[in-house]
Chains A and B, each alone.
Chain A
Amino acid sequence: MKLSFDWLSEFVDLEGLSAAQVAEKLTMGAFEVEEVTPVGAEITGPLVLGEILEINPHPNASKIRLTKTRVAPGAEPLEIVCGAANIEVGHRIAVALDGACVVNRHDGSKLEIKISTIRGVKSNGMLCSAAELGIATDDTTGEGIYILNDLAGDRPLGTDIRDILDLKNDYILHVEPRSNRGDALCVAGLAREVAALFNRKLQTQTHGLDEFGKALDQNLTGQIKAQSQANECPYFSLRTINGIKIGKSPAYIAKRLEAMGLRTVNNVVDITNYVMHELGQPLHAYDLEKITGNTLTARFAREGEKITTLDGKERSLTPEVLVIADGDTAVGIAGIMGSKDSEISQQSSSIVLEAAAFDQATVRKGSRLLGLSSDASLRFERGVDRVQTAIASERACYLIAKHCTCEDAQLAIGDLQQAGDNKAQSKTVDLRLKQIDRILGISLDSQKIEALLTPLGFGVQDLGQQSGQATLRVSIPSFRQSDVTREIDLIEEICRLNGYDKIAAIMPSASMPAEAADTFVSRVKKTLTSSGLSEAWLSSLVPENEPGIDHDRVVSVLNPLSKDHQLLRQSLIPGLLKAVAYNQDRGRKDVWMFEAGRVYERVPSASSQQAASQTQGNLKGHTGSKERQLIAAAVTGEKSRALEAPLKPDYYLTKGLVENLLEHNDINLAKIAFRRVSDLYPWLHPHRAALVTLNRPAKPKKLDKAVSQSDIHRQDPSPYDHLDENITLGYVGEVHPRYKDQVGLRDNAWVFELDLAKLELERKPGKFKEIPNTPEVWRDLTCDFENQETEHQAVCAVIIKAGGPHLKTADLVSVFKSDRLSLTYRMTFQNPAETLTNDQVESSIQSIRKDLSDKLKATFRA
Chain B
Amino acid sequence: MSEMPEESLNESIDQRLEKITTKALTAIEQANDLDALEACRVAYLGSKGAFTQIMQLLRTVPKEDKPRIGALVNEQKKKIEDRLEERKAVLYEAHLSAKLSSESIDVTAPGRRVPLGHEHPLSQIRQEIISIFYSMGFSTVDGPEIETDYYNFDSLNTPANHPARDEQDTFYTNLGPHVLLRSQTSTVQVRVMEKTKPPIRVIAPGRVYRNEEVNARKYPLFHQVEGLLIDKDVTFGQLKGTLQAFIKALFKKDLNIRFRPDFFPFTEPSAELDSQCPFCQGKGCRTCGNRGWLELLGCGMVDPNVLKEAGIDPEIYSGFAFGMGLERLAMLKYDINDIRHFYTNDLRFLEQF
Contacts from A to B (Cβ < 8 Å): 27-30, 32, 34-35, 178-181, 360-361, 364-365, 368, 381-382, 437-442, 486, 488-489, 491-492, 495-496, 500-501, 503-518, 522, 525, 528-541, 554-562, 565, 568, 579, 582-583, 586, 588, 591-594, 598, 600, 602, 620-625, 627, 639, 641-644, 647
Contacts and interface: CB of A to CB of B under 8 A. Distances in A.
B112 A517 contact: no
Contact of B236 (A30, A179, A495, A583): A495
Contacts of A535: 117-120, 123, 350
A582 B270 CA distance: 43
B15 interface: no
Contacts of B81: none
Contacts of A514: 133-134, 137-140, 201
A856 B172 CA distance: 57
Contacts of B238: 441, 506-509
A561 B213 contact: yes
Contact of B163 (A364, A594, A624): A364
A440 B233 CA distance: 10
Given A179-B164, A501-B259, A534 B207 contact: no
Nearest to A489: B268
Contacts of A565: 220-221
B322 to A, nearest CB: 13
B268 A529 contact: no
Contact of B268 (A360, A492, A522): A492
Contact of B345 (A488, A556, A579): A579
A620 B220 contact: no
A518 B123 CA distance: 11
B122 interface: yes
Q: Which of B172, B209, B263, B346 has the most CB of A within 10 A?
A: B263
A593 B119 CA distance: 10
Contacts of A568: 146, 181
Interface string B303-323: 110000000000000100000
Given A500-B259, A534-B350, A620 B137 contact: no
13 contacts: A382-B163, A492-B270, A500-B258, A503-B240, A505-B240, A511-B136, A515-B139, A530-B117, A560-B171, A565-B221, A600-B145, A623-B148, A642-B111
B236 A35 contact: no
B146 A625 contact: yes
Contact of A642 (B113, B137, B221): B113
Contacts of A500: 236, 258-261, 269, 271
B336 to A, nearest CB: 13
Contacts of B113: 641-642
B24 to A, nearest CB: 42
A540 B221 contact: yes
A534 B347 contact: yes
Interface in B135-168: 136-141, 144-148, 150-151, 154-155, 160-164, 166-167
Contacts of A579: 344-345
A697 B27 CA distance: 77
A600 B172 CA distance: 15
A439 B147 CA distance: 31
Given A440-B236, A568-B146, A644-B112, 8 more contacts: A439-B301, A505-B244, A512-B201, A514-B137, A534-B117, A534-B118, A558-B173, A583-B345
B288 to A, nearest CB: 11
B62 interface: no
A623 B175 CA distance: 7
Contacts of A560: 171, 211
A529 B119 contact: yes
B4 interface: no
Contact of B304 (A488, A530, A541, A639): A488
Contacts of B70: none
Nearest to A633: B117
B137 to A, nearest CB: 4
B219 to A, nearest CB: 8
Nearest to A359: B161
A559 B171 contact: yes
Interface of B: 109-120, 122-123, 127, 130, 133-134, 136-141, 144-148, 150-151, 154-155, 160-164, 166-167, 171-176, 179, 181, 191, 199, 201, 207, 209, 211-214, 220-221, 229, 231, 233-238, 240-242, 244-245, 258-263, 265, 268-272, 289-291, 301, 303-304, 318, 342-348, 350-351
A486 B304 contact: yes
Contacts of B138: 514
Contact of A508 (B114, B229, B303, B350): B229
A649 B140 CA distance: 37
Nearest to A514: B139
Contacts of B231: 508, 510
A621 B236 contact: no
Q: Which of B162, B234, B235, B345 has the most CB of A within 10 A?
A: B345
A364 B166 CA distance: 10
A583 B346 CA distance: 6
A492 B269 contact: yes
Nearest to B344: A582
A535 B117 CA distance: 7
Nearest to A565: B220
Nearest to A518: B140
B240 A622 contact: no
A491 B269 contact: yes
Contacts of B343: 537-539
A515 B202 CA distance: 9
A621 B350 contact: no
Contacts of B154: 620
A137 B109 CA distance: 70
Contacts of B117: 528-535, 592, 594
Given A557-B181, A627-B146, A562 B214 contact: yes
Given A529-B117, A561-B212, A627-B144, A27 B260 contact: yes
Given A492-B268, A556-B173, A537 B146 contact: no
